[in-house]
Amino acid sequence: MTPLSGLVVVALEQAVAAPFATRQLADLGARVIKIERPGVGDFARRYDETVHGQASHFVWLNRGKESVSLDLKSDDGRATIQTLVSRADVFIQNLAPGAAERLGLSADALREENPGLVHVSISGYGDGGPYSTKKAYDLLVQCEAGLVSITGTPDEPSKVGISIADIASGMYAYTGILTAIIQRQQTGTGVTIEVSMLEALSEWMGYPLNYAMYGGEAPPRTGARHASIYPYGPFTCGDGNLVFLGLQNEREWAVFCERILEKVELTQDQRFSRNSLRVEHSDALRSEIERAFVGSAAEEIAAKLESAGIANAVLRDMHGLADHPHLEARDRWRTYDSPRGQLRGLIPPVTFAGSEPLMGAIPDIGEHTDTVLAEFGMPRSSGAS
């Protein structure tokens, strides 16, 4: 038994947000039936060809799902998806605003046949405001949520390097679905869930938002440094590599001066006597720190910091993450299948004792159309291509 064994999800999904939510469900044992356009499928399939000819986004987001190819522009296709949803626990969609309703897939319409249905819609901005129909790509939502304004260097703002608005909304959809299933067990009725990318990411902006609303100014852009704690961030070592460290209190500052910088007198220096002053005089303190680091490699400095109980990290690239010794030691990697051969991936971060995540195969476009329609008593001609 897996935690979500028996849960049936029909997903009219594309790109990142909804597929991220449903892949979490699939890994935990839910049956996810992914509806794709005939011939082309989810457009994320064509973002790149880096994973044995497959798109890196798609293989990340779609393992363990069944792909059913339907032409939803046809009457048969619409009737077929409605039949599938009538026997599902969850329907999730992240089409353009209003598209699901035009296809007859609104919560009210589907719940006439399936009163217990959990109906989930993910959109860029949510219904009812002036931005409801505005296109909402991840970068654009990062801008609207203010994230780009506080990310980057003093000279240039920057987006986050992953699809963080999509991921945030996908995670809220995932947790919302689990919450709705619990509520349905108590009430016996379905739930309608709406998740907005802007609102999901705005929730994650709570610290800088409060800082600006009540402090008068937003936290400055500081690159990989911290806007309000110092020393906290990257420092150059003798081998030219970076080590990152973070001090949280005065006790750690004293230990850092004594054991790492070997200059106890800095604890008495009025420029550095408390955190706010260390932030104010960060350039001078950076010079002191990097002078102490110049004779050692980053790995040596990290080991010294670790021995002293100072939080630290070395800067890893993606190959460094793929070979991370801690992930390897904790047995976090598994292999799973795809149309182009086996792939290697991390198991979900929430570990259930006694339960192994499924890590199912990546589906080809329409790979399961015949078997799924036959199971539901429908011929392939029912809108399938």
The pair of three-digit structure tokens given for residue 20, joined into one six-digit string: 């991220």
Active site residue 324: no
Q: Select which of 57, 119, 226, 281 is catalytic.
A: 226
- Residue 384 pairs with which residues in a beta bridge? 70
Residues ≥6 apart with Cβ < 8 Å to 154: 220, 221, 222, 223
DSSP state of 260: I
Rounded distance between C-alpha atoms, residue 245 and residue 238, angstroms: 16
Long-range contacts of 99-105 (CB under 8 A, 24+ apart): 100/12, 103/72, 103/78, 104/78, 105/12, 105/81
Rounded distance between C-alpha atoms, residue 366 and residue 315, angstroms: 41
Rounded distance between C-alpha atoms, residue 39 and residue 25, angstroms: 26
Q: Tell how strand 8-12 and strand 90-93 pair up.
A: parallel
Could you tell me if 5 and 157 are in contact, meaning their C-beta atoms sit under 8 angstroms apart?
no
Residues ≥6 apart with Cβ < 8 Å to 55: 44, 45, 46, 47, 48, 49
Rounded distance between C-alpha atoms, residue 20 and residue 304, angstroms: 39
3-state secondary structure 327-339: HHHCCCEEEECCC
Rounded distance between C-alpha atoms, residue 135 and residue 119, angstroms: 22
Pick from 142, 256, 131, 127: which is nearest to 205 by CA?
A: 142
Could you tell me if 84 and 101 are in contact, meaning their C-beta atoms sit under 8 angstroms apart?
no
Q: Residue 336: what are its φ and ψ, rounded to 5°? A: -145, 165
Could you tell me if 225 and 286 are in contact, meaning their C-beta atoms sit under 8 angstroms apart?
no
Residues with active-site annotation: 226
